[in-house]
């Protein structure tokens, strides 16, 4: 296992566990981190589509992804509404792109475009209907469960870094009802845990508009 893979797997496990059990309460802390990864993976996906590289297989992809991640993290830190939009949009992108990968062979370009459209729609609906709390709980529980799966698969060499662009967690749970049930159970645990610990806690938008 390479050093990069080890670092990504440990980070995925830690962030996954935090997001799963305390995503809502720690949301303002997690927001810039989520923003970084959303920007990073969006930029790397764009490089993969435009230049035909394997996912995370080129220095260019890493460099552009890192810069885009910093920009998204900064926006999430400075502007609460932008952070919410990025969070909801990242889920919309994952859903849209995931559907394309599920029904088409080698749909990289199509998945990227559909993912972007889905990202805009989900972000718009979330902000318009004021669904932030339940979107945050659902997203952090789902993302936490997927993060734990992803970290474990990387740690035990089930997948490689280059597989991250093909939604490997979805591929694993789709091909095994056992792992699918485990993933669902983790999501339910996360939703219940966060709902019970935040029953009397309401996350208010910072007066300054700044996340921290």
Q: Please state the domain extents for the chain.
A: 28-197
Give residue 122's pLDDT: 85
CA distance 170 to 175: 9
Q: Is the whole model's pTM more than 0.85, yes or no?
A: no
Give residue 67's pLDDT: 92
Q: What's the whole-number average pLDDT of the chain?
A: 79
**Residue of 138, 160, 50, 53 whose CA lies nearest to 91:** 138
Does residue 124 or residue 129 have the better pLDDT? 124
> Residue 55 — pLDDT band, cuts 50, 70, 90?
low
- Cα dist. 196→164, 173, 200 in Å? 33, 27, 9
> Residue 208 — pLDDT band, cuts 50, 70, 90?
low
Give residue 206's pLDDT: 61
Contact indicator for 183, 16 with CB cutoff of 8 Å: no
CA distance 55 to 62: 9
Residue 101: HSE in the Cβ half-sphere, 13 Å Cα cutoff: 19
Helix (H) or strand (E) holding 159: none
């Amino acid at each position: 296992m390479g050093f990069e893979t080890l670092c990504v797997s440990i980070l995925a496990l830690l962030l996954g566990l935090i997001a799963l059990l305390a995503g809502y309460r720690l949301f303002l802390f997690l927001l810039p981190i989520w923003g970084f990864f959303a920007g990073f993976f969006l930029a790397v996906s764009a490089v993969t589509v435009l230049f035909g590289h394997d996912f995370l297989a080129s220095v260019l992809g890493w460099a552009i992804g890192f810069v885009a991640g910093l920009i998204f993290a900064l926006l999430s830190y400075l502007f609460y509404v932008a952070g919410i939009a990025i969070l909801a949009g990242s889920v919309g992108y994952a859903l849209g792109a995931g559907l394309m990968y599920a029904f088409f062979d080698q749909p990289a370009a199509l998945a990227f475009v559909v993912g972007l459209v889905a990202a805009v729609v989900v972000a718009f609906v979330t902000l318009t209907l004021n669904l932030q709390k339940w979107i945050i709980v659902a997203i952090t529980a789902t993302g936490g469960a997927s993060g734990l799966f992803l970290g474990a698969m990387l740690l035990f060499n089930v997948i490689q870094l280059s597989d991250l662009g093909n939604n490997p967690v979805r591929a694993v749970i789709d091909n095994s009802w056992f792992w699918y049930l485990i993933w669902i159970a983790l999501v339910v645990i996360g939703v219940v845990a966060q709902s019970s610990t935040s029953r009397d806690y309401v996350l208010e938008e910072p007066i300054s508009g700044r996340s921290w």
